[in-house]
Amino acid sequence: MLAIVSLAIFTLLPRVSGHSAFFHPSMWGFNVTDKTFDYDNRPVAPIKNMNFDKWWFHNHLDYPPNEGDFFELPVGEPATAEIACNKGATSYFASSEGGDIRDPNNPNNVCPNSGTEAYHTLGFDDLEGCALAIAYKSDVKQVQPEDFTIFSVNQTCVWTRFTEFQVPARMPPCPEGGCICSFFWIHSPNSGGEENYMNGFRCDVTGSISDVPLAKPTVARRCGADPVNNRLQAAPANCTYGAKQPFYWFNNERNNMFEGTYSPPVYNDRYNFLDGAQDDIFIDSYLSVPTPAPNAAMPLLADVSAKLPIASINDSTTAIAPRACGKADSSLSSGDGSTAEYAKAKRDMSDAHRPWSRSRIALMSRRSRKLDWKKRRSLWNMW
Ligand SMILES: *[C@@H]1O[C@H](CO)[C@@H](O)[C@H](O)[C@H]1NC(C)=O
Ligand SMILES: *[C@@H]1O[C@H](CO)[C@@H](O)[C@H](O)[C@H]1NC(C)=O
Ligand SMILES: *[C@@H]1O[C@H](CO)[C@@H](O)[C@H](O)[C@H]1NC(C)=O
Ligand SMILES: *[C@@H]1O[C@H](CO)[C@@H](O)[C@H](O)[C@H]1NC(C)=O
């Protein structure tokens, strides 16, 4: 009897705990709840052991965004995403089945009333990063897994609801009708089983100042130090340089990664995904890229700085007229005060960053490198 009563109470409570998703009106599956499908296919539900139709775009292709809703990607600037374990914890709570569950004391709380294990991390030191990918196609039906290029990484994700993704300064404009983007995340093996996260959305590059297209993305190779798996040294020549595909892992079909349970593919230096904008994804980014291998020659980065108009380095938005696009503005700043909330959240971040415990070496292997055009011969030791 007691069991039945507690089961009843349990099923009445809104389903809050667990996992994470990118939430924005431009996404496929924005209004999908745990009742929409005959299984829990909310955007936050993890993806694994599925056939292609079931994992691709989270099986949300029949739940498109409304006409005119785009997630904007301003070149050379950050785009701010909202990542949470429940839609009710985001600015879009109004259309969430459980209503507003945001944390009044911490707008950056990814999963109010839960511990960090709900979003699969033991703490700040245990973050493995997440990423945004883009396909320069406007028809989602035409997009294949091999079309996506990771253009921005946040290596300290999922940690705050408002998460910044730096947009490369040289992103070319999207075709008429915009581009197709997706959020990708594979979490640390220390807090939960092997699983993928994918939320597709409609996006548009704004303020573009370059027409140079992206290179064809290839599969990222494991090359960074990984002390936990007894690899103490990075193997920089083993890395994939330039445009890279997202990781497709642990499904039944169309995987491109075959790593084991305790060595998941991750969006950080271990697979040569630098923190922030992926500035080397264009067809002219490298003068040469040898076939990667532990003992191969290193690639040679091209000096592309001369190809950017000088004015763009100072102020691209006023100096160069952005492409006329005539699309509805669906950026975060429209509407409900989330910008003020974001400003507050940003200040709160200083505390979140304090408790480091890993050794400096391990940290550097994961999140310290930056591309430097002036030191283009030293591609790996960039710090
Ligand atoms: C989601 O639901 C809200 C509230 O019912 C509605 O206004 C909005 O148009 C819906 N969006 C989509 C993409 O279905
Ligand atoms: C990752 O997101 C956090 C939270 O918004 C932000 O403070 C940080 O600067 C971002 N990292 C990068 C490399 O953009
Ligand atoms: C080189 O990359 C391959 C493919 O990701 C990986 O299997 C191998 O372990 C890597 N070798 C080293 C030394 O990092
Ligand atoms: C950027 O523009 C401002 C105002 O036009 C000017 O004062 C400043 O010197 C410029 N900075 C650079 C680095 O060109």
Residue 56 CB–ligand 1 contact under 6 Å: no
Centroid of ligand 4 to alpha carbon of 310 (angstroms): 11
Neighbours of 343 (CB within 10 A): 11
Give the per-residue pLDDT at 368: 57
- Element containing residue 8 per DSSP (H, E): helix 2-12
Would you state the structure tokens that stand for residue 240, as one six-digit string? 């994939």
Give the per-residue pLDDT at 304: 83
**187 vs 58, 83, 120, 303, 334, CA distance in Å?**
17, 14, 6, 34, 31
Task: Give one DSSP letter per residue of 188-247, joined into a string.
Answer: -TTSS-S-BEEEEEEEEEES----PPBPPPBPPPP-S-BGGGTB-S--GGGS--S-BPPP
| Under 8 Å between Cβ of 224 and 269 | yes
In words, the CATH class of domain 18-286 is mainly beta
**361 vs 13, 224, 225, CA distance in Å?**
45, 12, 9
* pLDDT tens, the chain, 383 aa long: 444 444 444 444 444 457 999 999 999 999 999 999 999 999 999 999 999 999 999 999 999 999 999 999 999 999 999 999 999 999 999 999 999 999 999 999 999 999 999 999 999 999 999 999 999 999 999 999 999 999 999 999 999 999 999 999 999 999 999 999 999 999 999 988 899 999 999 999 999 999 999 999 999 999 999 998 999 999 999 999 999 999 999 999 999 999 999 999 999 999 999 999 999 999 999 999 999 999 999 999 998 876 665 444 444 444 333 333 333 333 333 334 455 676 655 544 333 333 334 444 444 445 557 777 667 666 766 53
Domain boundaries, the chain: 18-286
Residue 48 C-alpha from the chain's centroid: 18
Would you state the structure tokens that stand for residue 61, as one six-digit string? 């292709």
Centroid of ligand 4 to alpha carbon of 208 (angstroms): 20
Nearest to residue 57, comparing CAs of 160, 176, 121, 140? 140
pTM of the entire predicted model: 0.83
Centroid of ligand 4 to alpha carbon of 309 (angstroms): 14
Give the per-residue pLDDT at 342: 64
Give the position, in ligand 2's atom list, of the atom nearest the Cα of 153: 13
SS3 157: coil
Nearest to residue 70, comparing CAs of 174, 201, 164, 173? 201
Give the per-residue pLDDT at 207: 97
Residue 30 CB–ligand 1 contact under 6 Å: yes
CA end-to-end span of the chain? 63
Residue with CA nearest ligand 1 atom 13: 65
| Under 8 Å between Cβ of 306 and 170 | no
Centroid of ligand 4 to alpha carbon of 210 (angstroms): 21
Residue 21 burial (10 A CB sphere; 0-12, 13-18, 19+): buried
Neighbours of 208 (CB within 10 A): 22
Give the per-residue pLDDT at 145: 98
Centroid of ligand 1 to alpha carbon of 61 (angstroms): 15
Q: HSE of 373 in the Cβ direction (CA atoms, 13 Å)?
A: 10
SS3 289: coil
Q: For strand 276-277 and strand 149-154, is the pairing parallel, antiparallel, or unpaired?
A: antiparallel
Residue type, 234: A
Q: Tell me the chain's radius of gyration from C-alpha atoms.
A: 21
Residue 275 CB–ligand 2 contact under 6 Å: yes
Residue 108 CB–ligand 2 contact under 6 Å: no
Cα distance between residue 195 and residue 202, in whole Å: 24
**29 vs 14, 66, 123, 360, CA distance in Å?**
19, 11, 29, 41
Would you state the structure tokens that stand for residue 74, as one six-digit string? 């301003």
Would you state the structure tokens that stand for residue 286, as one six-digit string? 């490298």
| Under 8 Å between Cβ of 121 and 42 | no
